[in-house]
Structure 1
Amino acid sequence: MANFSIISDEGFALDQFFPAPFPEVPDGESTSTRLVYTIGIRKVVVTGTGLNTGAGTISEIELVEADGTTVVAEFTGLNLAQFVFDDALANPAYTIRDIFDLFLVGDDAIFGNDNNNELVAGFGNDTIDGGEGFDDLIYLAESNLMNRPNGITVEFTSEGTGTVRANGLNEIDTFTGIEAVHGTQFDDHFIGHDGFQRFRGFGGNDTFDGGAGDDEVDYRNDARESGIGVDVDLSKVGADGFVTVSWFNGDVDKLKNIEFLRGTRHNDHLIGDSLNNRLRGDSGNDTLNGGLGSDTLDGGEGNDVMIGGIGGGFGEDLFEGSAGDDTIHGGKVGADDDPDANWNVLNYHNAAGFTGITVTFGATSRAGTVQKTGGGGGIDTFHAIDAVFGTDGADMFIGGSGASNQRFVGYAGDDVFDGTLGINEVDYRQEGRSTNLTSGLTIDLVAGEVTDVFGDTDTLIKIERVRGTDLADTIIGNELNNRLRGAGGDDTLSGGRGNDTLDGGDGNDVLVGGSNVGSGEEEDLFVGSAGNDTIHGGEIGADDNPDLNWNVLNYSNLGFTGIVVTFGSTARSGTVKKTGNGGGTDTFFAIDAVFGTDGADTFIGGSGAGNQRFIGYAGNDIFNGTLGINEVDYRADARAVGLQTGLTIDLTKGQVRDATGNLDTLIAIERIRGTDNADTIIGDGLNNRLRGENGNDTLSGGAGNDTLDGGTSVDVVAYAGSRLNYAVTTNGTDQVAIIDNRAGDGQDTVLGVEFFDFAEGRFTLDQLLASPTVQVTKSVTLDPGVVSVTASGKSNLNITGNALDNTIKGNVGKNTIKGGEGDDTISGGSGSDKLYGGVGRDIFVFDANKPSKSKNLDTIYDYKAADDAIWLDNKYMPKLGKGSEVNPGKLNKKFFMIGDKAKDQNDYLVYSKKTKTLYYDADGSGSKKAIEIFKFSKDVSKELKYTEFFIL
C-alpha cells in the first residue's frame, strides 16, 4: 500500500512535486539506492534498489528543501518500476494528476497538512486525510491516459468526512478533513451533509444534493465551457425537487439544497432563491440576482450586473466590488426593513490590486458611483446601497443629498469622508477588527481629523455619525445631530450640541449629553447596554420645556430580561439595575424618561422636582409613582407590536392589560399617554394628565384637577354628572375649563376634544358653551343661547326651538313641539303630542313610556326621510335590538315592513299606508296586537325605509 503525505506546514499544490519540465537526469550525487533531482531551490529524492541500472524498483519519493533533509511531501510504500517513473515524467501526455494516479494505483493512504491542499485520489480503496485547512480531493484526470471509465458517488456523512465510490468498480475511498471534491467527466453524484461542502462536477450528467448546511457548486474551469457560460436559477425547482441546469453539449446537471454558486470564466447568469445565497461570477460579463434572503454577490472580473433581493426582516445583501464597470442594484426595501440594521453593503476591501476608490452618493437616495484605481480599475454604478467599504489605499467618500443614511468603512490609507450632504456615518469597527488593535481611538468630530487604527490620518467633514472600535474609544460630537456608538470597550462619548444619540455598547461607559441641552428643542437619547455605565443628560437651559425636550435612557431591544429603575431625591437622577445579557448597574443624571425591556420591569419614581416618564414595553411591568410626578406612556409600546385597537387604562383599578397582552401594575400614577388608536383612559383622585394621542379616544378625569388632552381624531371627554352642575369657560381656542360645582370632579382643563358627555347626553363645544338645559312648566320659545329644554308638569305646552341644535323633551301633557332651525332632537314625552322638526336634520325620539294609542301616540307633521330619523327606546320595544344615546344601534332590515299588518314573525315594526301609522308588533305575525307608536300627517310610505330607524 502506497502512502502520500504532505509534511511541511505550508500549503501544497501538485505541480510543486513534479514541475514541467522535470530534469532528464539526476544529480551527480545519485547512487544505486538514491537518485536526487534538483527543481529550483528544492530537490526530489528517489529511494529504491537497482536505480543505477535504469531497471530498478522505487520504494519512496520525497520532495525536500534545499538543505536536503527537510521533507515537504513524500510518497512511501511504493513498489514502482523505475522505467514507469522515467516514462511518466518524460512523456508530455501525462499531466501532474496522471502521475499521481499512476503512483497511487493500490489501496493507498494520502495525508495533507494543516494548510490548503490539493490531494489526488488514485485507483484502489484509498484513505485520505486532508488535515486542517481547506482541502480539495480530486478525481478528474486531465488527460485520457489515466481517466476513470465511469463517474463517482461522493457522500459526506458529516462535515469533512465521507466516502467516494467509483461507479461500476469495486472501489471505495474514505476521507476526512476534506472540504471540496472534484468529480470526473462522467455522471457523478454528490451528497452533502451539515456544514459547508464545495462540489465540482465537470463533464457528464451530475447530480448535487447539498443536504443541510451551506453547499456550493463550482463551475470554474469546467470542461464544458467552450466559451459559453452557465445559466442557473435556484428558484426554479422542478417536480422532482431539483433545479435543472442544461449545457450546450447535452449534459444535464441536477441541483438540490445548494445555496452557493460559482460560475465559469465566461458570461454567466446566476439566480438565487429565498435562502442566503452566495453567487460568484468569476470572469466574464455576468448577471447575478440574489433573490430573497441575505445574499453575497461577487461578479469577479468583467462588466457585471448584480441584483439584490428585498431587505425585509433581517435580510441584507453584500456585493463584492471587482475590476470592470459593474452595475449594482441593492434591491427593494421591504416594509419591515430597518435601515439601521439591514444594510446593503458594497465592499471593495477584498478586491485585489485596487489602490483607492472615490465613492460619490448622489441626489437619489442610496445611489451613486464608485471610481476605482489600480487592479483593472473601472467605474461602478450602484442603486439601493447603504454602506460602502473601502480599500487599504487612500479612499474618498462623498455623501449625497438623498433621504437615506450612508455608512462608510475606510480601512487603511489616508481616507477623506465628506458628509456635507445627507446623513453620513463613519464606521471604525471593521477597521479595528482587521488588525491587532491594542487600544481604542480618539474621534473628535469638531477637530475633523482621526488617526485610524493603521496610523493613517482620516479627514472627517460634517460627519453626523460615528461607530468606534471594540476597545476603549473617546468619541466627541459636533454641533450636528450626532449618533455616537462605542461598540466594545470602556468608552467615553460626548454628544456636544444638537439632538444626539449616544450608545456605549458593552463595557463600563461614560455617556455625556451636550451642555445647555434644552436650548431650542434639543434632546438626547442614551442607549443602555451591558456594563456599569454613567449617563449625564447634560445641563438644562433656561428655555427648556421639560414636557418636550426629554433626555431619554432606552433599554429596549438589547436582550435584557428586566430592569429596576429607581429615581432618587435629586431631580432627574437615579440608578438602573439590569438583569440578563451582561447585566450591570447604571447611574444617571439629568434624565427625564426611561424606556424598559420586553421583560418584567419595575419603575420607581423619585421625590425630585422633575417629572418622570416611563415606557414599559412588553412584560408584566410595575410603575410605582408614590413619589414625584410620574407618567406612563403607551405610545411606543403599541407601535412596537403594530397594535390596531386601543387600550383601556383605568387608574382607579391600578392594572392595565398592555399592548402585548401583559398585565401592568400602576401605583399612584398621575399621568398617562395612550396609543395611536381609540383608547379609554380613566383618571383617579389625583391631579391627572391624560393624553389620548391619535385615535378616537374617551377620557374621564375623575376627581382631582385634571388636564385632559384628546390629541388628534375625534375625542370625547366624559363626566358622570348633569351639565347643570358644571361651570364651563374657554380661552377662545380649543382649551376649555370645566369646574364641578358639586366639588366632585374638581377643576379640569380640556383640550383637543370634540364631544363632551354628561348625564343628559352628548354636547359639542358650541353646545357646551351655550346655556345648559332649561326646565319649563309653561309654553316657551327658546332664547338664542339655550340648547336644551325639558318640560315638567301636566299642562299642554307649546315649545319652539331656536337656531341652535336643540334637544327638547315634552311632559305628560299634549304638547306641540317645534324644533325650528338647527338639527334638533325632539321627544314628546308621555302625552299624545304634535311634533314638528322644522328646518335641518331632525331626530324624533320615542323614549318616554310604553306605546299607547290613547295616552302616548305622537303625530309627526313634517317628516322628511332625506333629512330626519326616528329613534326608538329598546326599554319599551326590546325586539328591535340594542343601542344607546351615544351609540344608537341600526335596525335590522328584516324587522321593518310596509303593509296593514305583520307578514312573518320578524316584522316587529310595521308602517300602515292606510292609517299613516307606525306600529310596534312584539310577536310579528303572532296573535298579539300591534301597538301604535307614531302617526304621520301625510303618507310617508314611499320614503320611509328601515334605514330611518335607530335603537336606543
Structure 2
Amino acid sequence: MTTTPVTWKSIATVNDPTNEAGSQNEPRITELRDGRILITWRDSGDNYDDRSGNDIVGQLYEIDGTPIGQPFLLNTIWNGGPNTGSGGGSEHDHDIAATPDGGWFVVYEDNNGDANFIRGERFDSNGNLAGQYTIAQGSLTNDDAVYNPSIDVAANGDWVVTFARQDGNGMKTKAIVFDNNTYSTVEHDFGSRSEGTAGGPVQVSNDTAILSNGNIVTVNEDYASLSVNTRINVRVTQPDGTIVRDFLAQTSVNNWNWENVRVEALEGGGFVVTYRAVNNGADDYGIRAAVYNNAGQTVVSPFYVAFDNNNSSSTLRFSASDVTPLDDGGFLIGWVEGGSLHFQRYDGAGVTVGNELTVPAAQPGFGSNDRFESFDMTRTQDGRIMVVWDDPSQSGGDPIQFMILDVRDDGMTVTGTSQGDGLTTPNGGGTVNAGAGADNVVGRSGNDTFIDTDLTSGDHYNGRLGIDTIDYSNVTFSGATQINLALGQVTNSFSGLMDTLENIENVVGSQGGETITTISNTTYVHAQGGNDRVIVNETNMDGDFYEGGSGTDWFDISNIVFITPLDITHELTLQLFRTGGITSGGEALQGFENIDGANNIGNSVETFVGTSGANEFHGNGGRDVFRGNGGADKMYGGADNDEFVVANTHLVSGVVFDGGSGTDRMQLVNTGTYNFRPITTITNIEEFTFSSALTQLKTLQFNASQFGSGGLSNVTFNGGNGDEQLQVFMGASTVVDLSALMFSNWAHSWDEEVLITGDNSAENITGSVVDDRILGSGGNDTIDGGEGGNDELDGQGGVNTVSYASALSAVQVNLGLQGNYQNTGGGGSDLLTNFSRLTGSDYNDTLTGDNLQNILRGGAGNDTLDGMGNSSTSSEQVYGEGGNDTITRRFHSNVGMTLDGGANTDTLIAPDLTFGDLVDFAGGFIWENGVKWDTISNFENYQGSAGEDFIGNDSNNTVTFTGLNYVNNIQTGAGDDNVFAGGGADIIIGGKGLDNLRGEAGNDRFIVGIDDLTANETMNGGGDTDTVEVRGQASFDLRNINLISIENLEFAEGGDQAVIIISDSQAQELSGIDGNSVEDSFLEIYLSRQDFDASDLSFSDWVPGSDEITIWGNDADNTIIGTRYNDDIRGGNGEDTVDYSGASAAVNVTLNGAVGIGSGGEAEGDRLRDIENLIGSKYDDELEGDDESNRLIGGLGGDELRGLGGTDYLGGGAGENFLDGGADEDFALFDGVRASFAVTRMGDVVML
C-alpha cells in the first residue's frame, strides 16, 4: 500500500514569469471531465490583454501534464476596459469547477471602483463560451459590496456559488444554486454573519462543497460581536437554503485567530474542514482539521495537523492549508510550512497514514491579503492529487507552478464511469477499466493494462513507458475489426468511432474476430474468442507469447522479411522458434490453427508443422517446408522453392497443396498407397519425390481432374529404389493429358508404370512419356499413349480412338494388328486392343485400318492412310488433315466412305476402281457403277490405275494413272494441274490454270476451251497419235502453249469461225488439222523463223472457201511454202517469197492488185499479201508481178512470167518460157552456159 504520497509528475512552471509584468497569484487547478487539467491564476500585469486591471488567465494541459496551446483569458466578457467608476476595473478572487459536459465554470469578483459583482462564465469542452452570468452585485459606496466567490459542481449538473455580501453590519455568506443548469437569482443564506472587528466589517474567506447526499456545506471565518478573535463557522444546508445544521467548528479563543478555512466532501459521505491557527500573543502557529458527517455531526473533533509554538522567527510559519478526499474515504491535507509545501495522509477516522511528505522546491507565497490563495489542491477522478501554487520569491513576474502526487497502490485497478473519463495509472503500473464513453486513459512508467468495455467509442489509450496492454476481452466485436498497434488505431466496420492507441505493446482481443497488428516491442497477445488474425511485425524471436484463443486463428508474419535461416514449427503447442541466428528465447504460440509465413529472401527457410486438426499455412516468400500432420490442412507455398512433407496417412478430404511460384516439391516419406484423390486442390507442384530409402512398392493415386488445369501439369515424379506406380482415375473428368509429366529414376517396365483407368463416359486420355497402361472402360474414348514408352492401350467398351498426337516422331500403326505388340516407331512398342479409330502424329505417319468401320486421322505431317476397305454396315472415314497426305480408297461392300485430304496438297489413290467409274474432285464424290458412292474432299492429286474417269477441282491437281491401255476421261479444274494419263486413249480436259498435261501412251485427246489456256502450260501427248481439240466460237492462241508430241489439231463441232493460232515451229510438229463439216474453221500460223514449209500438213473435214488458213510472215525475208488448201499468206515486212515448187500441178499466180490471187495446183484459192517474189512449179506456170520490183522464178516447164512495173528479175528456168519485164528496167535471169540458151526477141532489147 502506498501510504506516503509519491510524485506522479514533477514540478512544472505554467507561465513565463521572466517576461511577465505585475504579480501572478490566486492559483487554482481543476480536472476536466476527460482528464485534461485546467490551471488558472490572477494576473495583475495585463500580460494577456491590452486592458488595465486584473485578469483571470488559464492554461490547459493533457492528462499527463503536457501543455495544450497557450495561456488564455477566462474573463472574456468582463475584462476591465474604460473605467466605469472612480476605482477602475479589476477581475480577481476567482474560483473554478469542472462541469459534467467536459467544460468548466469560472466565478470571480469584478470591481469597477464604484460597484463590484460576482460574475460567472461557463465554457464548453472546446473552450467556447457557453454562458455568462452576473450572479450578484454590490455597491462599494453603500456598504453593500460582494466578495470572495466559491463554486462547486455536483455530478448531476447542479452548481452552487457562494460569496460574501456586506450588509452594513458585517459580512454574510450567500449562495446562488443552479439547479440542473437552471440559473436562479435567489440568494440563500449559506453561512453566519461576521460582524467584523471594532474597526468595522472585514472580508472573510468562504469555501463550499456539495456533499454526497446533495446537501451543501459552507465554511467561513466569523468575527463575532466585533471581536478581534475569529471562529470557524460551518453551515450545512439543502440546495433550497434550508439549514440542516449551523455550528462552529472552532469557537473563539482569546488571542487566537482561526483563518483561511477550507472544506472538502469525502468519498462515502461527510466532509473535512481545515484551517490555520494563529496565537498572536505567543507566536504559536498550526494547521487544524476536523471531520463531520453529511448532517454536520462531528466524526473527528478538531486536531492539529501541524503545530509549532513560541517561534517568533517566522510569523508565517504555517500560512495556509488545503484538503482533498481520497478514494478510500480518507483525506490528504497540504499546508505551507516555512515556505515549503507539506502533505499528510489520513484515514476517515483522522488517523495518519504513512509519513509526512515535504516538497522543499514548492514554495508558495503568502501575504496579509492573500488569505488561502497561495496554493490549491484537487483530487482527480482516478485518485491522483494535483497541486498548484504561486512562488513570489523570484524577481519579475511570479511563477505559477504545479505538480501531481499519487497515493494509489501500484497494480491497482482504476475504474471509470459511463461518461468520457480521463484516467491514469500509478507510477508502478496498474489496470484501468474506463467504462463507457470516450475516455482518455494514460499510463505512467509501469506495465499497465487498459480494459475497454464499450467497443470502439472514441477512447484514447496512451501507455507511455513500460510494457502496456489493451484488453478488449470483455466485449465481442462484430464486423471487420482492426486492433492495429502500428497505426495506433482500433476500428470496427459497425462503428463510426475509432479508439486511439499510443505506446501500447500488448493486446488482449475481444470475444469476436479481429485482426491484431503488433509492433516490435510486443511481448504478449491473446486474441481470445472469434476467428482472429495476429499480424506480427518484429524479427527478433525473444520470448514473446502469442495466444490465438478459441475460434480459428491466424499467426501472421507476412510483413516480415528474414534474410537468415528461419524455422517456424507449428506443433500442438504451436511453438515458434528461430535457429541459425538467435539460439535463446523463442516465441511461444498457443491456440493458433493457421500461419501466414514471412516473406523471406536468400537462404531463409520456414518449417510449418501442423497439428492433427485442420491448419492453413501460407509460406509466402522464401523456401518453406510444410508438415501438415493430418487434418484438412491448406498449405500454400507462395514464392520460391517450397517442400511439402507428406505421409500417406495425411491425405484427407479438404487438404490443399498449392506450391505457388518457384519449383515446389512433394516429399513422400513412406511406402504404401498415397491416395490424393480426396484432395480437392493440388496445384503448382513441380516434383513428387520418394526417399531413396524406400525400397517397397509405392503407389500414387490421383483423379484426372487434378492434372492440367486442375493444378498438376509440368510435374516430375522422382522414384525411389523400389517400384512405383502412378494411377490416374478419370472419375467425372472427360479429359486428362499426362504428356507434360516428367519422370526420374523411373524404370521403363511394367513394374513402374502409369495406369490410367476410365469409366463409362466418353473420355480423352493422353498418357505419359513412360510406359502407360490405359484402360478406357465404357464410353467412346480417345486414348493417346503419350510421347514415349511402350504402352498397353485398351479402349474396352464403346467406339474408341487410339491417338499418336503426342508422338515425337513418325508412327506406323496398323489396326489390323490389334492384340499384338507392334513397333510404331515414334510411339514405342504398343499393344492396342478394342480400337476402331486411329489418329496420327504431327509427323509423316503410316496409318492402316482393319477392314472394319474405321476412322483414320493423319494429323500434321505427310501421312499415308489406308482404311483397308470396309465390310461393315457403317461408313469408313479417312481424314488426312495437315500435311501432304496420301489416302488409299479401297473396296467396300455396304456403304460409301468419307475421304478428306485436309490441308496442303493431298493425293487420293483408288486402286479398286474400273471402267465407267468416276472420281469427281469438283463434285466431291466417287461414282461406282453409276451410283454416287463415296464422299471426297480437299484432294489435289489423284492416282488411278484402271479405266475410271476423273474430274478435277480448282486446286492444283496432279492426276496420275498407272494402268495400261485404259481409256480415261480426265478433267481438271482451275488450278495448276499435273495429269499423267498413263496408257490408253485418254481424254484430258485441263481447265483453267497453268497445267502440265501428259497423255502418255495411247491416242490421247486434249480438249481445250477458250478459258482453259494459260501461257506456258504443257500438253504432252506422249506416245502414239495425240490430238488437241478446241471447243467453242473463239480464238485459241496456242503459241505460248507447250505442245509436245501433239500430232493433230481439231476444231470441234459447235465452234463456228473458231480460230487456232499456232507458231511455225508448232506447225512443223503437226501431222494434220481436222476441221468439221458444219462450221467454218480458221487456222493461223505465225512465223518466228525465215523459211516455212506447211506442205506436209494434212487436213480433214476441211472445206476450201469456208475454212481458211492464214500464214503470217515476220520482218525477215521469208520463203513460205503453203498448204495444199487455199491459204492466206501475208508476208509482212522484208522481201518475201511464196514457193510453189512442190505443187502437184501448174499454178497461176498474180501479185498485181491489193491482194494477190492464186489458182491451179496448190495455189488454188490462195491470197497473197505483201509478197514480192514467186517460185513456180515444175509445170507450165503463169506468174505475174506487180508495179513494184519482183523476182519471178518459173522453174521447170514452159512458164509465162510478166514483171509489170518496177525493176523485175525474171527467171524462166528450164523449158520454153515467156518473159515479159513490163515497164521499167527489168532483168531476165538465166542459169547455165549462155550458149545453150535460145532467145527470141519480141520487143525490147535483150542483152546477153
Whether the TM-score (by the shorter chain) exceeds 0.5 is no
Task: Please give the TM-score of this superposition, normalised by the length of structure 1.
Answer: 0.31
- Between Structure 1 and Structure 2, the one with more strand by share is 2
Task: Please give the TM-score of this superposition, normalised by the length of structure 2.
Answer: 0.25
